[in-house]
Chains A and B, each alone.
Chain A
Amino acid sequence: MGNSIEVRDLTLSFGSVSVLKNMNLNVEEGEFVVLLGPSGCGKSTLLNCLAGLLDITDGQIWIKEKNVTWSEPSERGIGMVFQSYALYPQMTVRGNLSFGLKNARVPQAEIDKRIARAAEILQIQPLLDRKPAALSGGQRQRVAIGRALVRDVDVFLFDEPLSNLDAKLRSELRVEIKRLHNALGNTMVYVTHDQIEALTLADRIAVMKGGVIQQLAEPLEIYNRPSNLFVAGFIGSPSMNFLKGRTVDGGRAFQFGSTKIDLAGYEGGAVLERDDAILGVRPEHITVSTTPLAGPSMPAEVEIDEHLGADSLLWLKAEGVNMSVRVPVEGRLPPGTKVHLGLDIPKASLFDAKTEQRI
């Protein structure tokens, strides 16, 4: 399958401030790509550039093998869903859905057909003659998705569509969007700052920071093998434990304070001996034991024990550094308990402290 969206060397600056820097991104036909990052990272800006709502400074944007760099938003073959729904308040749901089609001079019979189909897919048939003010948040967002749907386009752009909804509705609609993607097979680009949405929805995630894509990979790859410190720290809750130390013994071990951790089984490049290294271990890749462990381990002391329902979080201090560990509910330990931590080295990440890149 070919590329549905190609961004080539895209640069966007406002005066002397550059928002997107020399960006390249290929989205395959039918792929679900999530742009993920903290606020101000340029993810929504990139989406607006794709939609043609912002004029870019340099580079090209191709959609469906067509150079749309200078095209109007309506000519790009995209549908867009906004965070605030952006429904036209004075029109009924039907009016909202047909507005774009009427502008494009689609015949009335065809309009009716498409609205009927979209309403059926999104189950909004009973709402068609209501005004947006008479709809709930979830219903409004459904209509907003419908407005993209009736345009019969190949590419859907979502700009934080679920951020205005409460937690329960959010997870419901998240599943629905996934279902929609499976059913329609459209290319979708989805902007969010919510990593759960990103991890659950995406075929691939582009983690962005400072107008640059830090890593573009499948969700599990991003989670398990973050390419740099930023990605490692941004994905995962609570975030990855970072142990500052150095690699010794020709790169076969990691010296953390007075503890030496064997790196056997680490999946990565040549570790070598480095003076400044950071070992990153996720809270769920650490085991806690009250007795000394075989294999790589370190002593620690429990400080706080948080019960989360399904499991609990232990906050510990090891070599003077705060760490979090996810343990089963049965594994709860009172504060002050002296424990040994076992690290799952094959699932850990090692970073160069200077370049912040994964080793």
Chain B
Amino acid sequence: MADVSMAAAMTGPRGAKPKKRLTGRNIMLYGTLLVVCLYYLLPLWVMVMTSLKGMPEVRMGNIFSPPVEITFQPWVKAWAEACTGLNCDGLSRGFWNSVVITVPSVILSIAIASVNGYALINWKFKGSDVFFTILIFGSFIPYQIMLYPIVILLREAGLYGSLWGLVLVHSVFGMPILTLLFRNYFSSIPEELFKAARVDGAGFWGIYFRIMLPMSLPIFVVALILQVTGIWNDFLFGVVYTKPDLYPMTVQLNNIVNSVQGVKEYNVNMAATLLTGLVPLVVYFVSGKLFVRGIAAGAVKG
């Protein structure tokens, strides 16, 4: 009797509920995603395709069609031959200028901001909160207001038009947001760790380098992404505070694209733009992976 009722009970729905794939909700969801995807990818498609065409083909107009004859000549020209003013060495000069500007700016700003954040959380001093508030307030002031005063400051300091002047400006302007970033991250590290290290006789730098730094790889990667992309993409400071020899890649790109003489070489312009955007893209891909790994390592637990 018991067996019979059991069998009867098992004839109905059983186990995991089957999922329907083609529901109205799913069609809406994936449909929208597809449209948005196309919307964002289309310009990239046009750029890549155009950069691989020769000028005669570009003139034919079909901007969406793939090249009939693939040529890398526009890329070579954009990198090494395009003229800006008297120089005809393309983007390469701007690329190396950007590298020379970005590397010290990123290192300097992250180094200072991380120590700032650490001191503001763990070594509170009289007025440290006021100091922090003022620093954060700095991030709300539009850059344009400070543009000219900084020209004067740099001139008086003898740094105007030099590489180090620009590095200094980038470091200063990165300070508010980076300090906030590091301060918040360090505040999530248990205070008892800091106390234990003090009882163990470690000082300001000892705790920073041996306790805090090894635990903070993820936030350093975040700061790295922020700074590299921010400084690499900067145009305003680069054009205002340096001279033509030192123009970063973005300014160089502008000068190539906007040069008024001769024919508009759309294919070269596209290639140049893609080249300039390549560095932030690579940083996203490479450090994005590192970033995830840093979090997954879960070193902060315990």
Which residues of chain A have a CB within 8 Å of any CB of chain B? 48, 51-53, 72-74, 78-80, 82-90, 99-100, 103-104, 132-133, 135, 140, 147, 151, 159
Residues on B with C-beta less than 8 A from A78 are 199
Name the residue among A51, A86, A133 with the largest chain B CB count within 10 angstroms. Answer: A86
Residues on B with C-beta less than 8 A from A99 are 197, 200, 202, 210
Closest to A78 in B: B199
Name the residue among A52, A89, A100 with the largest chain B CB count within 10 angstroms. Answer: A89
Is B300 positioned at the interface, with any CB of A under 8 Å from its CB?
yes
Residues on A with C-beta less than 8 A from B193 are 86, 88
Is B192 positioned at the interface, with any CB of A under 8 Å from its CB?
yes
Residues on B with C-beta less than 8 A from A89 are 215, 299-302
Q: How many A-B residue pairs have CB under 8 A?
A: 72
Cβ–Cβ contact B201 & A103, under 8 A? yes
Can you add 12 more A-B contacts, CB < 8 Å, to A85-B302, A100-B199, A103-B200? A53-B195, A73-B195, A80-B195, A80-B196, A82-B192, A82-B195, A89-B301, A89-B302, A99-B200, A133-B298, A133-B301, A159-B192
Cβ–Cβ contact A86 & B196, under 8 A? yes
Residues on A with C-beta less than 8 A from B190 are 84, 86
Contact with A along B10-22 (1 / 0, CB 8 A): 0000000000000
Name the residue among B196, B198, B202, B299 with the largest chain A CB count within 10 angstroms. Answer: B196
Residues on A with C-beta less than 8 A from B211 are 88
Q: Which of A73, A85, A87, A88 contacts B199 (CB 8 A)?
A: A73
Cβ–Cβ contact B301 & A147, under 8 A? no
Which residues of chain B have a CB within 8 Å of any CB of chain A? 190, 192-193, 195-202, 206, 210-211, 214-215, 298-302
Closest to A79 in B: B199
Cβ–Cβ contact B302 & A103, under 8 A? no
Cβ–Cβ contact A87 & B201, under 8 A? no
The 4 closest A-B pairs by CB, nearest first: A74-B201, A100-B200, A103-B201, A86-B192
State how many angstroms separate the Cβ of B220 from the closest Cβ of chain A: 14
Q: Which of A74, A85, A90 contacts B198 (CB 8 A)?
A: A74
Residues on B with C-beta less than 8 A from A100 are 199-201
State how many angstroms separate the Cβ of B207 from the closest Cβ of chain A: 10
Rounded to whole angstroms, the CA-CA distance of A85 and B196 in the bound complex is: 9
Cβ–Cβ contact A133 & B302, under 8 A? yes
Cβ–Cβ contact A80 & B199, under 8 A? yes
Residues on A with C-beta less than 8 A from B197 are 88, 99
Rounded to whole angstroms, the CA-CA distance of A140 and B196 in the bound complex is: 14
Rounded to whole angstroms, the CA-CA distance of A48 and B199 in the bound complex is: 11
Rounded to whole angstroms, the CA-CA distance of A93 and B197 in the bound complex is: 15
Cβ–Cβ contact A74 & B299, under 8 A? no
Cβ–Cβ contact A147 & B196, under 8 A? yes
Residues on A with C-beta less than 8 A from B195 are 48, 51, 53, 73, 80, 82, 86
Cβ–Cβ contact B192 & A84, under 8 A? yes
Rounded to whole angstroms, the CA-CA distance of A84 and B210 in the bound complex is: 19
Could you jot down 30 A-B contacts, CB within 8 Å?
A: A51-B199, A53-B199, A73-B199, A74-B199, A74-B201, A79-B199, A80-B195, A80-B199, A82-B192, A82-B195, A86-B193, A87-B302, A88-B193, A88-B211, A89-B300, A89-B301, A89-B302, A90-B214, A90-B299, A99-B197, A100-B199, A100-B200, A100-B201, A103-B200, A103-B202, A132-B302, A133-B301, A135-B302, A147-B200, A159-B192
Residues on B with C-beta less than 8 A from A85 are 302
Name the residue among B197, B199, B210, B302 with the largest chain A CB count within 10 angstroms. Answer: B199
Residues on A with C-beta less than 8 A from B302 are 85, 87, 89, 132-133, 135, 140
Rounded to whole angstroms, the CA-CA distance of A98 and B301 in the bound complex is: 21
State how many angstroms separate the Cβ of A124 from the closest Cβ of chain B: 15
Closest to B195 in A: A53
Cβ–Cβ contact A103 & B199, under 8 A? no
Name the residue among B190, B192, B197, B198 with the largest chain A CB count within 10 angstroms. Answer: B192
Rounded to whole angstroms, the CA-CA distance of A104 and B215 in the bound complex is: 23
State how many angstroms separate the Cβ of B140 from the closest Cβ of chain A: 29
Rounded to whole angstroms, the CA-CA distance of A53 and B300 in the bound complex is: 23
Cβ–Cβ contact B201 & A82, under 8 A? no
Residues on B with C-beta less than 8 A from A84 are 190, 192
Rounded to whole angstroms, the CA-CA distance of A79 and B200 in the bound complex is: 8
Residues on A with C-beta less than 8 A from B300 are 89
Rounded to whole angstroms, the CA-CA distance of A151 and B196 in the bound complex is: 12
Closest to A137 in B: B302
Residues on B with C-beta less than 8 A from A51 are 195, 199
Rounded to whole angstroms, the CA-CA distance of A79 and B211 in the bound complex is: 18
Rounded to whole angstroms, the CA-CA distance of A151 and B198 in the bound complex is: 13
Rounded to whole angstroms, the CA-CA distance of A89 and B193 in the bound complex is: 9
Residues on B with C-beta less than 8 A from A88 are 193, 196-197, 210-211
Name the residue among B195, B197, B202 with the largest chain A CB count within 10 angstroms. Answer: B195
Rounded to whole angstroms, the CA-CA distance of A293 and B230 in the bound complex is: 87
Residues on A with C-beta less than 8 A from B206 are 103
Residues on A with C-beta less than 8 A from B214 are 90
Residues on A with C-beta less than 8 A from B301 are 89, 133
Rounded to whole angstroms, the CA-CA distance of A53 and B198 in the bound complex is: 8
